[in-house]
């Protein structure tokens, strides 16, 4: 069993059997987040897709306090040393291969956005999850789908800064995940799109759970 819990915006907690991964932990200043960093329990890995404040969020604080490992693009983790994170817990990667961390594997994959950005493919307990980060649609999403075969895709649908529902629907078809969950919408006025538009665009071809912040989906 793998449990995905949405904390609003692009923030997710992924509970594998023995490992907990937090992605893009924008919590304190996230008006939609039902949880604050001090309420989190066990966190083993913190994955940050890029260094914008609404994704980097509280990553340094959480990584330090939980003794977790911080995974992101190389330059994004460097300031973590000044935040008091031990060097061995700063995992600066780049877009390339899948890295085995024991109980999970993580690959950083391309994203089309500003900042030092990537998507993240996270595998544990034989379940692969693609967190697209902030991105526009691009043709190599098909390659990501072919290479990693993610069961779940977490796709931004808010538009303005990322894909909207129309683009996310086309992306979902390229990636081919069985389950597609919209994110990065409804946090602020510019991204107040309707997640049901993605479900309607995809029809019965995909399972499209629509979560409220704090809700979970179990695989």
- Predicted confidence (pLDDT) per residue in 121-180, tens digit: 999 999 999 999 999 999 999 999 999 999 999 999 998 999 999 999 999 999 999 999
Alpha carbon distance 44, 42 (integer Å)? 7
| Sign of the CA dihedral running 112, 113, 117, 119 | negative
Question: What pLDDT, on the 0 to 100 scale, is given for residue 27?
Answer: 97
pLDDT digits (tens, 9 = 90+) for 86-109: 999 999 999 999 999 999 999 999
Determine contact, residues 141/148, Cβ cutoff 8 Å.
Answer: no
Question: What pLDDT, on the 0 to 100 scale, is given for residue 59?
Answer: 97
Percent of the chain with pLDDT over 70: 100
Question: What pLDDT, on the 0 to 100 scale, is given for residue 53?
Answer: 84
- The answer to whether residue 76 scores a pLDDT higher than 90 is yes
pLDDT digits (tens, 9 = 90+) for 10-43: 999 999 999 999 999 999 999 999 999 999 999 9
pLDDT digits (tens, 9 = 90+) for 196-213: 999 999 999 899 999 999
Question: What pLDDT, on the 0 to 100 scale, is given for residue 179?
Answer: 98
Question: What pLDDT, on the 0 to 100 scale, is given for residue 116?
Answer: 87
Domains of the chain plus CATH, in order, are: 3-212 (3.60.15.10)
Question: What pLDDT, on the 0 to 100 scale, is given for residue 50?
Answer: 85
Query: Which H/E stretch holds residue 33?
Result: none
Question: What pLDDT, on the 0 to 100 scale, is given for residue 32?
Answer: 92
* Three-class HEC string of 34-69: CCCHHHCCCCCEEECCCCCHHHHCCHHHHHHHHCCE
Alpha carbon distance 157, 167 (integer Å)? 8
Q: Which residue has the higher pLDDT, 51 or 94?
A: 94
Token match 């604080």: residue? 61
Alpha carbon distance 7, 100 (integer Å)? 26
Which stretches of 57-164 are DSSP H helices?
59-66, 74-77, 141-148
| Sign of the CA dihedral running 200, 215, 171, 147 | negative
- The answer to whether residue 115 scores a pLDDT higher than 90 is no
First to last CA, the chain: 6
């Amino acid at each position: 069993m793998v449990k995905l819990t949405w904390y609003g915006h692009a923030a997710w907690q992924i509970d594998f059997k023995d490992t907990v991964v937090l992605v893009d932990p924008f919590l304190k200043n996230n008006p939609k987040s039902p949880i604050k960093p001090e309420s989190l329990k066990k966190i083993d890995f913190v994955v940050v897709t890029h260094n914008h404040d609404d994704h980097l969020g509280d990553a340094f604080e959480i990584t330090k306090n939980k003794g977790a490992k911080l995974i992101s693009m190389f330059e994004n983790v460097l300031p973590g040393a000044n935040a008091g994170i031990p060097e061995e817990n700063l995992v600066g990667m780049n877009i390339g291969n899948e890295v085995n961390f024991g109980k999970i594997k993580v690959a950083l994959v391309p994203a089309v956005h500003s900042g030092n950005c990537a998507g993240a493919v996270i595998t544990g307990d034989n379940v692969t999850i693609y967190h697209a980060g902030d991105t526009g649609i691009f043709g190599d999403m098909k390659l990501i789908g072919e290479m990693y075969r993610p069961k779940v895709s977490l796709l931004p649908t808010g538009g303005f800064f990322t894909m909207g529902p129309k683009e996310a629907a086309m992306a979902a078809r390229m990636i081919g995940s069985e389950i597609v969950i919209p994110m990065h919408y409804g946090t602020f006025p510019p991204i107040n799109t309707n997640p049901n538009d993605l479900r309607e665009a995809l029809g019965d071809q995909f399972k499209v759970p629509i979560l409220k912040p704090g809700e979970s989906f179990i695989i």
